[in-house]
Amino acid sequence: MQKRQLQVRRLGRFAYDAGLRLQKEIEQEVIEKRETDFLLLLEHPHTFTTGRRSQKTGVLATAERLKTLGVSVFETNRGGKVTYHGLGQIVGYPIISLSPNREDVHKYVRDLEEVLIRTLADFEIEAFRIAGLTGVHTKEGKVAAIGVHIKRWVTTHGFALNVNTDLSFFDLIIACEGEPVTSMEKLLGRELRLAAVEDKIIQNFTKVFDNLPQRR
């Protein structure tokens, strides 16, 4: 059987609602054709998103405060609770078919964690999993969140890696399980080029998901 190909789209700064629409369009294409898989990499304006396990109390700021800060709030069908997307953060949306060889939701999430753990290691950051929690952690806090949705074994949503992220926005929500958060910039003491981090994410994604060679 011929291997499917992976198409990577580096979209830069991209509105959250536009990202949702694009995911739905690509999701339908992957469901129908099962030929090409996709990895979208982008950066959202200030946004809070709620997952299926979110509670109304997850966002601590008032509507007026959110408006002043320019923060939008969206309800989503991904797993997890409330999280933040914003400038200086790399968001990855893999839209891939897990059929027939990867029909295991837990393994898929662990594989996404592995992609990010390897990426952080490339920048000499020690990162790890914590049993019972989803995402990627360091000794100073959580550095990446993961929340996925799967329809007919095709994935949407994905991960958010804090690179040069303004962490003060996390003070306005009860993020995930309430654990502290950090960023690559804070851990390394310097700002990083998002493109350089994206390069490593792409390399590690293609290695971990080895049945998806990248299409040039």
Residue keyed to tokens 């837990």 = 106
Is 176 noted as a catalytic residue in this protein? yes
First to last CA, the chain: 21
- Residues 154/100, Cβ–Cβ less than 8 Å: no
Cα separation of 26 and 28, whole Å? 5
Give the three-state DSSP class for 2.
coil
176, 181, 184, 202: the catalytic one is 176
CA distances from 22 to 10, 32, 37, 131, 154 (A): 13, 16, 14, 33, 14
Helical packing angle, 105-122 and 194-208, nearest 10°:
140
The DSSP H or E segment spanning 13 is strand 5-13
Phi, psi of 102 (to 5 degrees): -130, 35
CA distance 91 to 93: 7
Q: Give the DSSP H or E segment for 9.
A: strand 5-13
- The token pair that represents 57 in the structure block: 């109390």
For residues 43 and 73, is the Cβ–Cβ distance under 8 A? no
Residues taking part in catalysis: 176
